[in-house]
Amino acid sequence: MTRIDAKFAELKAAGKKAFVSYVMAGDPDYQTSLDIVRGLPSAGVDIIELGLPFTDPMADGPTIQLAGQRALDGGMTLQKTLDLAREFRKGDTTTPIVLMGYYNPIYSRGVDKFLVDAKDAGIDGLIVVDLPPEEDAELCIPAQAAGLNFIRLATPTTDDKRLPRVMQNTSGFVYYVSITGITGAAEAEAADVAPEVARIQKAGGLPVIVGFGVNTPDKARSIASVADGTVVGSAIVSRIAAGDSVPDVLAFVKTLSDGAHSA
Per-residue pLDDT, 178 = 85
Per-residue pLDDT, 186 = 58
Of 5, 27, 46, 60, the active-site residue reads 60
- Assign 179 a pLDDT band (cuts: 50, 70, 90): confident
Inter-residue contact 240 to 261 (CB < 8 Å): no
- Assign 185 a pLDDT band (cuts: 50, 70, 90): low
Rounded to two decimals, what is the model's pTM? 0.96
Per-residue pLDDT, 59 = 77
The verdict on whether 49 is a catalytic residue reads yes
Higher pLDDT, 253 or 191: 253
Nearest to 81 by CA among 33, 128, 125, 20: 33
CATH topology of domain 3-258: TIM Barrel (3.20.20)
Q: Could you read off the pLDDT of 101-154 as tens digits, one per residue?
A: 999 999 999 999 999 999 999 999 999 999 999 999 999 999 999 999 999 999
Over residues 191-198, mean pLDDT: 92
Of 49, 117, 196, 228, the active-site residue reads 49
**Residue 203: exposed, middle, or buried by beta-carbon count in 10 A (0-12, 13-18, 19+)?**
middle
The verdict on whether 117 is a catalytic residue reads no
Per-residue pLDDT, 182 = 54
Listed in sequence order, the DSSP H helices in the chain are 3-14, 30-39, 62-73, 78-89, 103-109, 111-121, 140-145, 163-167, 190-204, 217-224, 234-241, 246-261
Rama region for 128: left / alpha / beta (φ>0; ψ in -120 to 50; rest): beta
Q: Could you read off the pLDDT of 21-53 as tens digits, one per residue?
A: 999 999 999 999 999 999 999 999 999 999 999
Q: Could you read off the pLDDT of 215-260 as tens digits, one per residue?
A: 999 999 999 999 999 999 999 999 999 999 999 999 999 999 999 9
